[in-house]
Amino acid sequence: KQEVTQIPAALSVPEGENLVLNCSFTDSAIYNLQWFRQDPGKGLTSLLLIQSSQREQTSGRLNASLDKSSGRSTLYIAASQPGDSATYLCAVSLYGGATNKLIFGTGTLLAVQP
């Protein structure tokens, strides 16, 4: 059974700091991995999608890496801003079948202090 774990559960950093969020998964047979952002009481916004054949994806100040063999992914946020404060969720899509069911971690709650 695929399990997704995110560490740390919560993180508080001063504005301008670079930070790394971690995600691990137990079954390496994934189709892809996505990082999402969720603001309080809101839906999910997709940040980055990494296919299983890729090692990393970049979008602006965000960089996500994927190491399937070790079952790990990291989300790097450069020069953090107060507007980055949110919960960050990673999710894996399992290989095979005609579905793109996502299995989520429990998230990392990020607070960027001005």
Partner 1 sequence: DAGVTQSPTHLIKTRGQQVTLRCSPKSGHDTVSWYQQALGQGPQFIFQYYEEEERQRGNFPDRFSGHQFPNYSSELNVNALLLGDSALYLCASSFRTSGRETQYFGPGTRLLVL
| Degrees, nearest 5: CA angle 19-92-39 | 50
| Degrees, nearest 5: CA angle 30-53-66 | 70
Quote the least distance from Cβ 6 to partner 1, whole Å: 8
Quote the least distance from Cβ 35 to partner 1, whole Å: 11
Burial class (CB in 10 A: 0-12, 13-18, 19+), 6: buried
* Gap between the Cα atoms of 101 and 44, Å rounded: 15
Q: Which residues bind partner 1 (CB under 8 A)?
A: 4, 31-32, 34, 36, 41-46, 49, 51, 89, 91, 93-95, 97-107
Q: Which residue type occupies 31?
A: Y
Nearer to partner 1, 43 or 114 (CB): 43
Nearer to partner 1, 18 or 87 (CB): 87
Nearer to partner 1, 4 or 86 (CB): 4
Quote the least distance from Cβ 22 to partner 1, whole Å: 15
